[in-house]
Structure 1
């Protein structure tokens, strides 16, 4: 799997419409069996033009995409952290995801009422962030209490843990999102047993109407300012258009996007931004039997990347036979690329590059 992403937002912002469109579109356009894990989770394949190009010339018996899991986190309203709506249940779900897609309503409509009476991106974002902060604060307060008792004997590890928890406690009490606290990555790494929601990377999904799909309207511009201040990323999307795309086959969807002046779907944009947000890359294994995409963190060594396939390959790693994607594209053949000296032999410390096509030699 590439990563999993929790979709949050107030009621009636288009969150479930986007979730349903994304999961259905992903399944159909790749002829991939849509997998419903439970009513609010969906796994969809990541469509990668590079993998499609490799497939054209390798002509494998099977193709395996990497995937993204979307989790529709429903029930977030004022008071969710105190159990309003289905708050506690869904706040637990969101602790399990890698990244958060925060859907913000950026369109007016007389037909779709707004739970807060009108469109106001700053207020809506603040409501969600406040509930997430309150939920984190509850966990931090309990952890501080337990750790304080345990550290009375002078245990150095517990005292250091308490120090880090108190840094978070003081900042969160001021309303600071954990991901905006200076040095938060080092602090949360020391507190890895806790999964703080506001430490997770965020993409703001600006749900606009059809007239504003190509450029920000006033509401979207306001969301973008918030994202820039937080160091978050933004994706502009129209839930209604995504829903229409999800009902088309791949060729029809491409024609529809072209007619709108769009180069890709919202799913593609969200996936790309998710990879950037989490600093992920893709490498490929390719042969007549299978062409498969694998997701790893940027900076991963060849030996560790081999472990993504199987622990035996990592343990018995001998070398990696690596062909860059652009080199493959030049010759449209792994054999030809090798003959032309473009296939490299790399050792266990080689840093895998985005798009590498790798064959691992190993012995166990």
Structure 2
């Protein structure tokens, strides 16, 4: 899962990156930094304890800290453009903190203005991509053979709808929701089509109001494909350098509540409309994600293509039921371990064991 950290200059993107990666990121070439973060899951921990797993593998998110986009009106290019095209979602860092020694490039701190400005830049960028492609398609439609013409006309129609959405001041991520449409648009790198987590980067003086601010901005901006979270990145980056005991004591003193960094990443998982399932054994207890509505066969392929190819059936049980009965054997004896076929729809928290033959 790849997440691109974006936003205006002096918004604290790199501080957010350091907070989320606990300072363990590294340079990836140019001005980009890259880091991997594992998302803790108490369910996985309990399942690992149950089977005495030697290894625990939680969900991992790869973070890309990109330089400020749209500087002087320029579109993303080079490695930034490549990273954005393959990113599963955008983490849009919005400055909500005051610092005299770090002036805001627009002269004042105004999160709502900055959110609107960045959305407009993304829409303008996407409109350019769409217009250029439509110009080429116009030539293709007139010159192509009948079969090729039909394919080009379908693409032309879809891109025309996208252009109308943008010209109507709506966001692509809210209006283009059909799975086939999204698949057809996947290679265009349309930024306003990507799921987005708006992350308000607040100062330490606002920490106690974090929940209220999140509720306020969620009411204004949360919608299909867009969620809102709040983080005091400066504080979290400092706490990441302490031991867990020291950090907990400091949080109590500051009234900062629980660690919010993993909550932010958990929100991204939900924003992407993913469900988590588990595979467990003595060697490894592992978390996996698949899109909501995915089949058992797709889940098998997520683990390994050989398992998907040789799929026979899946043994499935809810994670909490497995903990309740203590083992697969006991769960089977009480009729709680189900046998499912290829088309079974994976549910959040399923523990799945696929029987296969290759």
**TM-score (normalised: structure 2):** 0.88
1:208–1:220 contact (8 Å) kept in structure 2: no
Q: Give the secondary-structure state (helix, strand or coil) at the position aligned to 1:79.
A: helix
Distance 1:276 1:219, change over 3 A: closer
Going from structure 1 to structure 2, the CA distance change for 1:333 and 1:253 (only over 3 Å counts) comes to farther
| Structure 1: unaligned runs, 5 residues or longer | 28-33
Larger CA deviation: 159-168 vs 307-316? 159-168
Offset of residue 109 of structure 1 = 2.3
Residues 26-74 of structure 1 show CA distances to partners (whole Å, capped at 9, x for unaligned) of x6xxxxxx77655511111121111111122222122222201111121
Q: Does 1:235 align with 2:229?
A: yes
Deviations 1:240-263 (A, max 9, x none): 221122112344444444555555
Q: Tell me which residue corresponds to 2:128.
A: 138
Does the Cα contact within 8 Å between 1:104 and 1:206 map onto a contact in 2? Answer: yes
Contact 2:21 2:36 in 1 (8 A): yes
How far apart, in 1, do the equivalents of 2:155 and 2:191 lie? 19
Aligned partner of 1:88 among 77, 99, 124: 77
Aligned partners of 2:96, 2:108: CA distance in 1, in Å?
Answer: 11
Q: 1:297 aligns with which of 291, 295, 301?
A: 291
Preserved contact between residue 11 and residue 77 of structure 1 (Cα < 8 Å): no
Residue 210 of structure 1: how far off its partner (Å)? 2.0
Q: CA deviation at 1:214?
A: 3.6
Which among 43, 47, 71 is matched to residue 54 of structure 1? 47
Q: Who is 2:58 aligned against?
A: 65
Check conservation: 2:194, 2:225, Cα contact below 8 A: no
Q: How far apart, CA to CA, are the structure 1 residues paired with 2:335 and 2:16? A: 46
Aligned to 1:124: 114
Deviations 1:309-347 (A, max 9, x none): 111211211111112111122134334333333222222
Task: Find the residue that maps to 1:193 and give its secondary structure.
Answer: helix
Is the Cα contact below 8 Å between 1:322 and 1:359 reproduced in 2? yes
SS at 1:212's partner residue?
helix
Tell whether the 8 Å contact from 1:205 to 1:236 is kept in structure 2 after alignment. yes
Distance 1:252 1:103, change over 3 A: same
Note closer, same or farther for the CA distance 1:358–1:262 as it changes in structure 2 (3 Å cut). Answer: farther
Tell me if structure 1 keeps the 8 A contact 2:201–2:232.
yes
Shift of 1:20: 1.2
CA displacement, residues 50-103 of structure 1 (integer Å, 9 cap, x when unaligned): 1111122222122222201111121225434x25xxx42324421221111111
**Judging changes above 3 Å, is the alpha-carbon distance between structure 1 residues 11 and 350 closer, same or farther for their aligned structure 2 residues?**
same
Give the aligned partner of residue 40 of structure 1.
33
Matched, 1:245 2:234: no
2:101 is aligned to: 111
Offset from partner CA, 1:276-297 (integer Å, 9 cap, x none): 1111111111111111111111
Contact 1:121 1:222 in 2 (8 A): no
Residue 197 (1) aligns with residue 191 (2): yes
Partner of 1:31: none
1:213-234 C-alpha deviation (Å, 9 max, x unpaired): 2435997676434413676211
Q: Which moved more, 1:329-338 or 1:279-288?
A: 329-338
Give the corresponding residue for 1:101. Answer: 91
Q: Give runs of aligned pairs for residues 1-364 of structure 1, distance below 5 A.
A: 3-24=1-22, 39-80=32-73, 82=74, 87-89=76-78, 90-153=80-143, 155-181=149-175, 187-216=181-210, 223-228=217-222, 232-261=226-255, 264-364=258-358
Q: How many correspondences in the alignment?
A: 351
Conservation of the 8 A alpha-carbon contact between 1:7 and 1:71: yes
Contact 2:207 2:255 in 1 (8 A): no
Secondary structure of the structure 2 residue equivalent to 1:142: helix
Shift of 1:359: 1.3
C-alpha root-mean-square deviation of aligned residues, in Å? 2.6
Unaligned 5+ runs, structure 2: none
